[in-house]
Amino acid sequence: MRYTTTLLFTFLTTQIFAQPERWQQRIKYNIDIKVDDVANKFNGTEKLEYTNNSPDTLTKIFLHLYWNAFQPNSSMDVRSRELGKLSTRNDKAGNPLPDWDTRVKDRISKLKPNEIGYQKVSSIKILGVLQKLIEHETILEVQLAKSILPKSKTNIDIVFEAQVPVQVRRSGRNNAEGIRFSMSQWYPKMVEYDYQGWNANPYIAREFYGVWGDYNVSINIDKRYMVAATGVLQNANSTSKGYADSKLPSVLQTDNNITWNFKGENIHDFVWAADTSYKHISKKVKNGVILHTFYKAGNATTDSAWNNVLWAAEKVLPFMEKHYGAYPYPQYSFIQGGDGGMEYAMATLIRSSNLGTVFHEWIHSWYQHILGTNESLFGWMDEGFTTFAENEVTDYYNNNWAMQSPFTNAASKAALAKQIAKDKDALPAIQADDYAGYFNLAKSGFEEPLTTHADHYNTNFGYAAAAYSKGATFLSQLGYIVGDSVRNKILLEYYRIWKFKHPNANDFIRVAEKTSGVSLQWYKEYWVNSTKTIDYKIGNISNDSITGKPQILLERIGKIPMPIDVLITYKDGSKEWHYIPMNLMFAGKAAEDNTPRIIHEEWRWTHPSYSFNIDKRITEIRSIEIDPSYRMADVNRINNKLVIPE
């Protein structure tokens, strides 16, 4: 049976879904530290208000002590050196490359006592009672003297000290760009307790997960430093250095130290950085959001590049909100520091002013800090979705704003124009790099299912390609299955329904199903839970022995079944779509353009081949192509197109 209409099914895109019920723990942090910048140490206290919204009685709690990883023979150290014994790729000369993270390598093993990092908790009290502490390197187990009951609040007092490590991975002092302090993962942080229990993952340089709450952080440090941080500075006129409100009087500082007080609400992490030569620029944009950049003061070229960060960020914010949801926080800071690019609440540490990194880290605000997926279990839902969005935002910026930037020179604009022209001839232009990354992974022999815990991938290469490339391809290919416009509606519904709720893979799939009207569990099972691949081929073309009409044979060589778009181009220039739904979908997608479209009977996933007839003669065909949009991640496209000789 076939139909010549351009619409097969009605999509449920206007349906309003009820908010799902999922309890969340809640926390309030009041942190005070005093920094000794000469010794690279600080002492601090934390006063926590922890709300147990779970139905469970908690007999213990856990805290992250991330910096204990930066010590010789730590889990992070040994893990990096062990992976360095493997090789997944070769260099240009054909020599095997170690699989370790090039930022870490064996650097931790060589740290001296005054270069290591540590976080030492000297005491934890609840209602004045000391609790029993058991340290497991980067995880502190607290055996509670009195259990925390369901639906109750508990006040916890913590006293701790820390030594800032030489910068190795994300955190530390004196990074390659000369930033004095990059202070991420710097405080004893409550481990998240959720519907799966405690997520007490030792730190080996991978992903993060946290409890949403409110932060009130005071940092006492030598007044020579400028501090950049998560949250909103509460005492700007006591610190000056670019923050001060000209409408208010400045406060004269007579002490050698200044206390910087920042507050952030409804966030699950806090980062800060400090340097004596930071330059700070800021801009208030749409809806009163204030964007900041902090960078190592340099020459006019440096100033122009970091001003361009603010200029570009303002231009892309409306696009990001339109496609991924509203940005709910009052500010965002792009802070030079760390070891590349790493996202935190309301801020990122980035090595340079590269706009690709700028966009990527900011988009993490949506997929890590607003939606808050557990990165250890679903890293592809954060890194992959972020990478997909980064590509869309970059494409939007390059095609609409880049040439207008007053902070980009003529040579850079000319190079960009050349690249844009080149990209227009590539398919798919926006997401091509991620498809290529996935194909490389699928053919490498090192692929593992996306369900693999981030810490337990066998190789760094396998983890990175899976989380970033295969994760991004998941969304691009979803556009092939349900239509790009419907996929875009899914992303907005996903944000609306699951913001601040830690969604998992099935949560996303259910939103996608309800929005599209298409059953998609099969897609999750194949793409996420397996390493099976897609490979379709155009087989023989012959005249049907019964109808006499041309019959086109399609063959499924790979193990993942998919709906199939076939475009037939005739010698007279006309074109015709042939759409074949896959039976597990129990629906199909609407036409995506005005080309005539014929919808055929569904292809059952058990059947390796499928034939359909066309009305015109074989001699009238110029070409037949499976998925000319290149959105289906077919690992062998050489057999996807057949051109009929003249």
**pLDDT tens, position by position, 136-168:** 999 999 999 999 999 999 999 999 999 999 999
Let me know: does 86 contact 444? Beta carbons within 8 Å: no
Containing 308, the helix (H) or strand (E) segment is helix 300-324
d(CA 433, CA 436) in angstroms, rounded, equals: 5
- 12-21, 353-362, 536-545, 566-575: least confidently modelled range: 12-21
CA 10 to chain centre: 32
What sign has the CA pseudo-torsion 363, 365, 370, 373? positive
**Tally of helices (H runs) and strands (E runs) in the chain:** 13, 33
Which among 70, 378, 338, 82 is positioned nearest to 203, based on CA atoms? 70
d(CA 162, CA 173) in angstroms, rounded, equals: 13
**Res 286: pLDDT:** 81
pLDDT in tens, 11-27: 333 344 455 678 999 99
**Res 244: pLDDT:** 62
**Res 18: pLDDT:** 53
Query: Per-residue pLDDT for 473 more than 50?
Result: yes
**Res 543: pLDDT:** 87
Block residue for tokens 């930071």 = 278
List C-alpha distances in Å: 641 to 133, 593, 635, 636: 65, 20, 14, 11
**Res 161: pLDDT:** 98
d(CA 490, CA 470) in angstroms, rounded, equals: 19
Query: Per-residue pLDDT for 3 more than 50?
Result: no
In this structure, the strands spanning 213-222 and 189-190 are: unpaired
Confidence class of residue 538 from pLDDT cuts 50, 70 and 90? very high
Query: Per-residue pLDDT for 118 more than 90?
Result: yes
d(CA 466, CA 162) in angstroms, rounded, equals: 35
Let me know: does 620 contact 570? Beta carbons within 8 Å: yes
CA 256 to chain centre: 40
Let me know: does 329 contact 347? Beta carbons within 8 Å: no
**Res 562: pLDDT:** 98
Neighbours of 406 (CB within 10 A): 8
**Res 5: pLDDT:** 35
Q: What share of the chain is helix, strand, coil (3-state, %, to 5)?
A: 30, 30, 40
Residue 59, both tokens: 């007999």
Let me know: does 479 contact 470? Beta carbons within 8 Å: no
pTM value is 0.93
Residue 485, both tokens: 């416009």
**Res 549: pLDDT:** 85
- 102-106, 246-250, 625-629: least confidently modelled range: 246-250
Query: Per-residue pLDDT for 427 more than 70?
Result: no
- 19-23, 215-219, 472-476, 639-643: least confidently modelled range: 19-23
d(CA 636, CA 628) in angstroms, rounded, equals: 13
Let me know: does 507 contact 519? Beta carbons within 8 Å: no
183-191: average pLDDT: 97
Partners of 442 in the beta sheet?
none
**Res 13: pLDDT:** 37
Largest separation between any pair of C-alpha atoms in the chain: 97
**Res 250: pLDDT:** 61
Query: Per-residue pLDDT for 179 more than 70?
Result: yes
Let me know: does 388 contact 476? Beta carbons within 8 Å: yes
pLDDT in tens, 571-617: 999 999 999 999 999 999 999 999 999 999 999 999 999 999 999 99
Confidence class of residue 540 from pLDDT cuts 50, 70 and 90? very high
Query: Per-residue pLDDT for 421 more than 90?
Result: no
Query: Per-residue pLDDT for 469 more than 70?
Result: yes
Neighbours of 19 (CB within 10 A): 9
Block residue for tokens 């949801």 = 325
Which among 621, 635, 527 is positioned nearest to 572, based on CA atoms? 621
104-108: average pLDDT: 96
Percentage of residues in the chain with pLDDT exceeding 90? 83
Instruction: Return contacts of 481-485, CB within 8 angstroms, 24+ apart.
Output: 481/518, 481/520, 481/523, 481/562, 481/563, 481/585, 481/589, 482/512, 482/516, 482/518, 482/520, 482/589, 483/516, 483/589, 483/590, 483/592, 484/592, 485/592
**Res 424: pLDDT:** 67
User: Residue 23: which residues within 8 A CB-CB, separation 6 or more?
Assistant: 53, 54, 55, 195
User: Residue 26: which residues within 8 A CB-CB, separation 6 or more?
Assistant: 50, 51, 53, 211, 212, 213
Confidence class of residue 646 from pLDDT cuts 50, 70 and 90? confident
Query: Per-residue pLDDT for 321 more than 60?
Result: yes
**Res 413: pLDDT:** 81
Which among 186, 78, 191 is positioned nearest to 140, based on CA atoms? 191
300-323: average pLDDT: 96
Residue 577, both tokens: 């779509």
Query: Per-residue pLDDT for 278 more than 90?
Result: yes
Percentage of residues in the chain with pLDDT exceeding 70? 93
Query: Per-residue pLDDT for 483 more than 90?
Result: yes
